[in-house]
């Protein structure tokens, strides 16, 4: 089976890149011959590269229209993640037209969460969709890694240690977490909140630092950019994972791989309702889902976990069990089932539904 993949990048520190690199690697292990094109690709370049491919799969939404043109009559798939899967449809214009066309032509649109699927269906109800949740490199988080000296010093004598991972931008909701932590500090003056992520919005970073000062959290909040290995060490050193994304109908967290990573490290998560985190966190089992706009809701969830070590450890074990079942190999198997289905029947009818 030879499949042509159109992607944005293969950078493991980028959401799209991480997804693409891990999925393609897992599919190759299952015997898929992958032809991969990334970045800005022209029509004729893609057409030539994919000439002998049996199917075309676009793993990032901005490349979907090009993929739809190159696919011709072959099976054609799109993976839809979050904001970029919906926002162009809502805004309209040329971008909206192109994405709507691609969805219409696609044999199937694989949504990384039920939330993403629902938002697409609201704006393009005839789209043929299936939900395949993200995977995680589970084995990576089973390695015992010591934090570097700089992080050991930060962690010493702190409880609770709370970790947030993701680009420093408003959609991630760090400002809401800071407000909740200012309340939690009254009970836990030595709490530590580590925000690990690249700064993609300098204005937002400035705002966060101002909030840290406003809430008197200067000794409790640290902005860090650890390497891959040290990030694993920090997941393992944390007591709780916290990320409270802000969402609306078109701008939202599509899934939240970081919750699955926290689970792989055996840590419970607190995340937001009304986004893809609803698939990544099993509320009351692997962590808590909260109303991110309700400060008290976040505080209650954090207090439940900090005050009850048994609950915290039990949820951590449950989160680890769930993550163990979401390896990239498992995700690849789910994709292969649908690839095989369309490889057999798509040529007979373009009206088949999943």
Provide the 8-state DSSP code for 275. Answer: S
Using alpha carbons, select from 235, 271, 268, 269 the residue that is nearest to residue 252.
Answer: 271
Using alpha carbons, select from 165, 167, 164, 190 the residue that is nearest to residue 177.
Answer: 164
The CATH architecture annotation of domain 138-324 reads: 3-Layer(aba) Sandwich (3.40)
Class of 2-135+327-345 in CATH: alpha beta
pLDDT on residue 343: 59
3-state helix, strand, coil in the chain (%, to 5): 50, 15, 35
pLDDT on residue 269: 98
CA distance 124 to 272: 25
Helices 83-91 and 93-105 pack at an angle, to 10 degrees, of 120
Structural tokens at position 280: 């990544």
Answer yes or no: are the C-beta atoms of 322 and 314 closer than 8 Å. no
**CB neighbours of residue 293 within 10 Å:** 15
Please give the span between the terminal C-alpha atoms of the chain, in angstroms, as a whole number.
Answer: 20
Q: What is the mean pLDDT of each run of 10 residues along the chain (354 residues)?
A: 90 86 95 92 95 95 96 95 96 96 97 97 96 97 93 95 96 96 98 93 96 98 95 97 92 95 98 97 98 96 98 98 97 92 45 37
Gyration radius of the chain over CA positions? 21
pLDDT on residue 346: 29
Domain ranges of the chain: 2-135+327-345, 138-324
pLDDT on residue 340: 87
């Amino acid at each position: 089976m030879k499949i042509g993949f159109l992607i944005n990048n293969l950078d493991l520190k980028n959401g799209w890149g991480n997804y693409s690199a891990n999925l393609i690697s897992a599919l190759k292990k299952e015997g898929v011959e992958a032809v991969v094109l990334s970045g800005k690709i022209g029509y004729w370049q893609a057409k030539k590269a994919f000439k002998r491919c049996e199917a075309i799969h676009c793993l990032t939404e901005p490349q979907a229209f090009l993929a739809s043109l190159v696919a011709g009559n072959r099976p054609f798939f799109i993976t839809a993640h979050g904001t970029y899967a919906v926002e162009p449809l809502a805004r309209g214009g040329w971008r909206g037209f192109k994405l709507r066309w691609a969805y219409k032509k696609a044999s199937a649109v694989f949504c990384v969460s039920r939330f993403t699927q629902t938002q697409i269906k609201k704006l393009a109800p005839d789209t043929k969709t299936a939900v395949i949740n993200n995977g995680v490199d589970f084995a990576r988080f089973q390695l015992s890694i010591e934090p570097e000296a700089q992080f050991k010093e930060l962690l010493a004598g702190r409880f609770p240690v709370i970790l947030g991972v993701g680009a420093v931008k408003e959609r991630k909701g760090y400002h809401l977490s800071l407000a909740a932590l200012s309340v939690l500090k009254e009970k836990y003056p030595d709490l530590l909140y580590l925000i690990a992520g690249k700064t993609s919005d300098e204005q937002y970073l400035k705002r966060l630092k101002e909030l840290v000062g406003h809430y008197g959290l200067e000794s409790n909040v640290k902005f860090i950019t650890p390497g891959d290995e040290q990030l694993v060490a920090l997941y393992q050193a944390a007591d709780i994972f916290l990320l409270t994304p802000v969402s609306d109908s078109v701008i939202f967290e599509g899934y939240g791989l970081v919750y699955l990573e926290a689970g792989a490290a055996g840590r419970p998560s607190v995340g937001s309702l009304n986004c893809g985190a609803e698939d990544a966190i099993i509320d009351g089992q692997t962590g808590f889902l909260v109303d991110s706009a309700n400060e008290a809701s976040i505080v209650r969830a954090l207090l439940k976990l900090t005050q009850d070590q048994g609950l915290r450890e039990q949820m951590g074990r449950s989160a680890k069990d769930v993550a163990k079942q979401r390896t990239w190999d498992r995700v690849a198997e789910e994709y292969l089932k649908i690839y095989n289905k369309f490889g057999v029947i798509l040529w007979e009818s373009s009206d088949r539904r999943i």
